[in-house]
Amino acid sequence: MAEEISKVLEKMNLTSEEEETIAISDERRKEELESCALSLIGKFLTCKPFNKKAAQITLKKAWGLEEKVQIFEVGSNLFQFKFKEEFDLNRVFTGGPWSFDNQALLLTKWEVGMTATNFRFESVPLWVQIWGAPFDMRTPKVAEENGKRLGKVLEVEERRYNNSQKFFMHVKVDIPVAKAIRRRAFLAGSDGLRHWVDLKYERLPLFCHFCGILGHDLRHCAQYFSQKKDGKVADCGYGEWLKAVGGRARSPLKREAGVGMKET
């Protein structure tokens, strides 16, 4: 609604008074600039209502920052997280994925000139497990190459030689929220032989079992509604089987809080 109003106002013919520019010196906003410099902007990727107060309390507890972070609602499902220490800001920003009630928290760093309508959240960081690769392809470099096909690679888990378990490869990727999540992929060596690998996602948040896009379910899927409306069979090609069981360990604090984070 706010974006629609803003577009309407942009097309209006302004009066001379309305066109006047009000100059604001840096001195008048110095305190707030310093405060915003240590802040993140975030929103929950969801189509459902949620308890905002509970979400804020849960996040503070999960981060261990009950007294070191302030949370302000600055728009519809839009929050500003102000930290006291740069270390804590970076720890939270790089330590995701975070979620509340199975709804992913998307985060971006604050920049000068940001408003509630002039930026977008385009991806969510998720740990992806790659299953079924040939034994000679189970390497971090192969995991990284696979991850690049999913989104921006953030981290690749190195093989630990003292760990006897090697069921899957592990890569952390910024997954685009506007595209369907990928379920499988082909790997091929120099011999040209192709091998299917299955992809599973750790702490996979709310997603649609029909279109595979994050942030909504069947009841809120326009594609699913259109298919059913036309009397066609609406087969769901996605499901709970895309959720990984297990994965990287979380600390007791984060398990108790119910917010997802992968330890580094």
Averaged over successive runs of 10 residues, the pLDDT of the chain (264 residues) comes to: 61 73 64 78 92 94 91 91 94 92 92 75 94 92 94 86 71 95 92 92 94 94 87 88 74 40 37
Residue 5 within any structural domain of the chain: no
Residues 243 and 161 in one domain: yes
The Cα 95–Cα 258 span in angstroms is 15
Whether 90 maps to a domain, the answer reads yes
- Do 38 and 84 meet the contact criterion of CB atoms below 8 Å apart? yes
Q: Is residue 252 part of a domain?
A: no
Same domain, 129 and 161: yes
User: Do 83 and 150 lie in a common domain?
Assistant: no
Closest residue by Cα to residue 255 from 52, 8, 61: 61
Place of tokens 């091998």: 195
Predicted local distance difference test score (pLDDT) of residue 40: 94
Based on the fold, state whether residues 115 and 148 are members of the same structural domain.
no
Q: Are residues 35 and 134 in the same domain?
A: no
Helix count and strand count (H, E) for the chain = 7, 10
Q: Please, what is the end-to-end C-alpha distance for the chain in angstroms?
A: 40
**Same structural domain for residues 214 and 141?**
yes
**Which pair of structure tokens corresponds to residue 257?**
């809080």
**pLDDT of the residue at 203:** 92
**CA nearest 97: which of 252, 254, 261, 248?**
261
Do 127 and 209 sit in the same domain of this protein?
A: yes
Tell me, yes or no, whether 66 lies in a domain: yes
Domain holding 107, by residue range, is 31-120
User: What is the per-residue pLDDT for 2?
Assistant: 56
- Domain count along the chain: 2
Domain limit, last residue, from 71, 104, 120: 120
Residues 66, 107: one domain? yes
Instruction: Classify residue 262: in a domain, yes or no.
Output: no
For residue 131, what pLDDT is reported? 95
Question: How far apart are the C-alpha atoms of 176 and 191, rounded to whole Å?
Answer: 32
